Amino acid sequence: MSKRVLNVGLVGGGKGAFIVQPHQKAIHFDGTRRVTAAALFPDPKVALEEAANWPYPIKGYGSYDEMINDQKNLPADQKLDYILIVTPNHVHFDPAMKSIKARIPVFCEKPLCLNLTEANELVKAVRDNNVPFGVSHTYLGHWTSRLSRYIVRAGLLGEVRWVDSFYLQGWLATKLEAFRGRGNDDYRGSHDLEDVIAVVDGRQEIVSEVRDAPSDVRGYIASEMRRLLGTRQFLDALPGFLLPDSASQGRQPLLRERLNALAQSDG
């Protein structure tokens, strides 16, 4: 089996997109893979501009169709070994199906697609073409999910007749509350603050999202941000939440700007 570094192609990820960032870190973490090509945005012109301005050299494509179709023209060492799909939910099925049909392995963000019919089609295509395919349902491996499954399967809840679940949009508020409760004012060592800063730094939409949140959530986030920004130890700890290289440290003003905007998001 070849030992060469695997080539990864991104579908989505331009213009400050969110989940591409942790994926990129993971891809480049151990030297086994690297991002070499990308179709970063729905508008071809923007997609190419974003690729040209990417922090390291990649081959930009105006669309994922172009990226997938181009593979057959490339020498073996330049072909993509897999495609990473980090687009919004409604843009998972199409690039996934086209990659499978081109026999390019896929790692797709969750949810796999929008309905069971699409999911069944993808499963069939994967089997027919014998193409490796992964979905990043990371929480399925988490102990809380496994314990929940055990509780249900063991019948500890009795017969389950109704399941209701929701996504906690107040995540940021919950993290700030957690720091209050268990952070012991450890501004440098708190993983809750680390999470808060990682999201504020990595997600440019965070300010507008918080502004759209219910007023009590928005008010709580704003007042906690004001408290943090008024605390000397927090301001001193802030550079330590960014990587030490100069490009990352250069993001400090942007980060401070976002934190200030969050502190005013109840105004």
Ligand X SMILES: NC(=O)c1ccc[n+]([C@@H]2O[C@H](COP(=O)([O-])OP(=O)(O)OC[C@H]3O[C@@H](n4cnc5c(N)ncnc54)[C@H](O)[C@@H]3O)[C@@H](O)[C@H]2O)c1
Which residues of this chain interact with ligand X, rule CB under 6 A? 11-15, 17-20, 39-42, 64, 86-89, 91, 109-110, 136, 138
Residues facing residue 59 across a β-bridge? 37
Q: Taking CA 140 as the corner, what is the angle to CA 136 and CA 144, rounded to the nearest 5 degrees?
A: 140
Q: In the complex with ligand X, which residue's Cβ is closer, 123 or 140?
A: 140
Q: Which amino acid is at 9?
A: G
Residues 24, 87: Cα–Cα separation, whole Å: 14
Distance CA 246, CA 228 (A): 24
226 CB-side CA count, 13 A: 10
Tokens of 252: 């400090």
Q: Residues near 43 by Cβ (< 8 Å), separated by ≥ 6?
A: none
For residue 17, what are its two tokens?
A: 């997109």
Q: Which is nearer to ligand X, 91 or 97 (CB)?
A: 91
The smaller minimum CB distance to ligand X, of residues 162 and 167, is found at 167
Closest approach of ligand X to the CB of residue 134, in Å: 12
Of 197 and 263, CB closest to ligand X: 197
As measured in angstroms, the least distance from the Cβ of 13 to ligand X is 5
**CB of residue 40 vs ligand X: minimum separation in angstroms?**
6
Q: Which is nearer to ligand X, 109 or 192 (CB)?
A: 109
CB of 31 to ligand X, least distance (A): 23
Smallest distance, Å, CB 141 to ligand X?
12
Q: Which is nearer to ligand X, 70 or 186 (CB)?
A: 70
Give the relative orientation of helices 215-229 and 252-263 as an angle to the nearest 10 degrees: 130
**Shortest separation between residue 259's beta carbon and ligand X, angstroms:** 20
SS3 11: strand
Beta-carbon contacts of 152 under 8 Å, excluding residues fewer than 6 positions away, are: 160
Quote the least distance from Cβ 35 to ligand X, whole Å: 14
Nearer to ligand X, 129 or 204 (CB): 204
Q: Three-state SS for 187? A: coil
The residue type found at 211 is R
Q: Which residue has the tokens 């603050």?
A: 193
